[in-house]
Amino acid sequence: MSEIDPQTLGEWLKWATRKFRAKQVESPDLSASLILSDVTGFSRSKLIGFAEEPLSADHQDRAYCLLQRRLRHEPMAYIL
């Protein structure tokens, strides 16, 4: 995936937010949580409340694909 493989929901949210900020993606926190929420089926509040929950390899792969699209500044409305 990259220099690290986030293993939990919380780690992935932090990692993705950093990636989005580095590429100056608008609303990096929101983008990260919307992508992970879509992939896992969890509400945004559940993502925060269950930050230590493991992230499956399948969810990691799917979230990474969506993250790559967002890093190219594709609108969230087209991604989800």
**Other CB atoms within 10 Å distance of the CB of residue 70:** 25
Q: Which tokens in the block code for residue 55?
A: 């992230």
pLDDT at 40: 96
* More confidently predicted of 55 and 5: 55
Q: Where are the alpha helices (DSSP H) in the chain?
A: 9-22, 28-40, 44-49, 57-71, 76-79
DSSP, res 54: B
Question: What residue ranges define each of the domains in the chain, with the CATH number in brackets?
Answer: 9-79 (1.10.8.10)
Distance between CA 36 and CA 9 in Å, rounded?
8
Distance between CA 10 and CA 53 in Å, rounded?
8
Confidence of residue 4 (pLDDT cuts 50, 70, 90): low
* Span 24-57, pLDDT tens digits: 999 999 999 999 999 999 999 999 899 999 999 9
Write down the mean pLDDT value for the chain.
93
